[in-house]
Amino acid sequence: MIECDVCVVGAGLAGLTAGVRAAESGLRVVVLERSADPEYLCNSRLTGGAFHVCLNDIQSNADVLEQVIRTATRGAAHAGLARAIAEDARRAVKWLQSQGIRFIKGGSEPHHNFVLSPPSLQRVGSDWRGRGGDVLLRTLGGALAKHGGQLLRGHRALELDIADGRCTGVKGNADGVPFEVRAQAVVIADGGFQCDADLVRENISPAPDKVLQRNARSGLGDGVRMARAAGARLSDLVGFYGHVMNRNAMTDDRLWPLPWMDNVATSAIVVNAQGGRFVDEGRGGVYIANRIAGLPDPLSAFVVFDQPLWEGPGTSRFLPPNPNMEKCGGAIFRADSLEALAGQLGIASQALAATVATYNEAIERDTLEALQPPRSPKAYRAMPIRTAPFYGVPVCAGMTYTMGGLAIDEWSRAMDAHGEPFLGLYAAGGSSGGLEGGENIGYVGGLSKAATTGLRAAEHIVKTRQAAHA
Ligand SMILES: Cc1cc2nc3c(=O)[nH]c(=O)nc-3n(C[C@H](O)[C@H](O)[C@H](O)COP(=O)(O)OP(=O)(O)OC[C@H]3O[C@@H](n4cnc5c(N)ncnc54)[C@H](O)[C@@H]3O)c2cc1C
């Protein structure tokens, strides 16, 4: 039996932030990490490294950021949690800087003002080594040890100990050997449930194996399952953060995490195997990816566009699909007519031609919102599809992390079935829910969420303990 003040489940950014913050305040901390590998892969290690709040600069006024979160989630974000992120994302970055983590300005857009250094090359394979996320985890791991905390790799937490309605520790398995940790507080920070086929089938896609795991494959859903078994409240689990990817990425690692098709898809049309639109492309790439994942066959969607679109939005942003997608092995079909393109894609040619004609006419008449499904006109400019060659790209949904999880409040406290704090239980980062998601699949930011909720969990644990000993 291991005894400590704080037991953290998961050693990504959220877990190590919580662990180091608690340890530097004098608490005895044990961080459990499922993987035994000293270079254990997790989303924090693969990350692109941009700290932002809904793609806004984290230094913006807190009132502005709070409003931005409310707008992005169409009001679905827990109010206290939205305020916490708006107020503390910058403070969390400052705290990381105080631990020796370095940031750079990674580009001209506001969400690139704080990017982990050295910046990621955005490729899989060994390219994460020595990059921002890798350095982040090594630095925080060192800080944990310096403050007397323990990182136990190869320890997978599987069950919460509950006594008198309070969480008192966790049980798990270390290479086939059961272990038990007794703690005053437990912080679940296991990164989400994106790799749990049953939870994904229940909440996100009827066919989990047809959704691309655009992540480190370390989010196994243990946190959600442990919390559910213990009677903790879960948030809305239906949304995930992800992107529209070339379908060949399902089998070719050169095609993820970039390039993605979001910039093209949001100016073009996305059709199903029958040649009809099924999603409001104007609501953004994350939203489109979620709708593709929800199709009866998530591997049956295509982005259809023309030459000006390929030369315009197709070349915008970092590592754009034009020309990188084909270079990395992505399938892209071209034809001089829509009929010929439909033939290549294996979809009904008359239906595709009719869909394109209706869409072009709606742009001309400014009636995009009257289309079925409607096409929101404001956030992304819809471009007509008229000029050959015409293009069709078979796409899939790339899932980075699930947005839902344990329902938490502004201090990262888990909630019980009645919406009251579940004593002794906290959640942070990709394990937590209530901030992102909602009907709009509102994306706030995985790193800001992980650092802020981890920091706040630790600070609440410390405060509670000080109050108890006063
Ligand atoms: C390619 C890529 C690019 C990204 N780019 C950005 C970006 O630029 N900006 C941004 O804001 N977000 C980005 N994200 C998302 C962001 O990186 C994550 O949201 C964030 O790192 C999540 O941190 P976490 O600590 O919650 O989870 P993780 O980093 O996934 O850590 C969870 C840890 O828990 C461990 N674990 C799981 N189950 C158990 C268990 N039962 N017991 C013990 N340990 C367990 C896992 O092995 C893992 O190490 C990106 C993600 C990816 C994959």
The ligand 1 atom nearest the CA atom of 49: 8
Our CA dihedral for 323, 343, 256, 198, rounded to 10 degrees, sits at 170
Q: Has residue 172 got a pLDDT over 80? A: yes
The ligand 1 atom nearest the CA atom of 13: 25
Mean of pLDDT over the chain: 96
Residue-wise pLDDT tens digits, 372-413: 999 999 999 999 999 999 999 999 999 999 999 999 999 999
Residue-wise pLDDT tens digits, 450-466: 999 999 999 999 999 98
399 Cβ below 6 A of ligand 1 = no
Q: Has residue 122 got a pLDDT over 70? A: no
33 Cβ below 6 A of ligand 1 = yes
The ligand 1 atom nearest the CA atom of 214: 53
Q: Which domains does the chain have, with CATH numbers?
A: 2-238+403-469 (3.50.50.60), 242-399 (3.90.700.10)
* Averaged pLDDT for residues 68-92: 97
3-class DSSP assignment, residue 260? coil
The total of other beta-carbon atoms located within 10 Å of residue 459's CB is 18
- Residue pair 307/288 in contact (Cβ under 8 Å)? The answer is no
Q: Has residue 124 got a pLDDT over 50? A: no
Q: Which amino acid is at 20?
A: V
The total of other beta-carbon atoms located within 10 Å of residue 33's CB is 26
Question: Can you read off the two tokens belonging to residue 32?
Answer: 């459990």
240 Cβ below 6 A of ligand 1 = no
Question: Can you read off the two tokens belonging to residue 8?
Answer: 């953290």
- Ligand 1 center to residue 8 CA distance, Å? 14
Residue-wise pLDDT tens digits, 235-293: 999 999 999 999 999 999 999 999 999 999 999 999 999 999 999 999 999 999 999 99
- Ligand 1 center to residue 13 CA distance, Å? 7
Question: Can you read off the two tokens belonging to residue 31?
Answer: 């961080």
* Averaged pLDDT for residues 73-99: 97
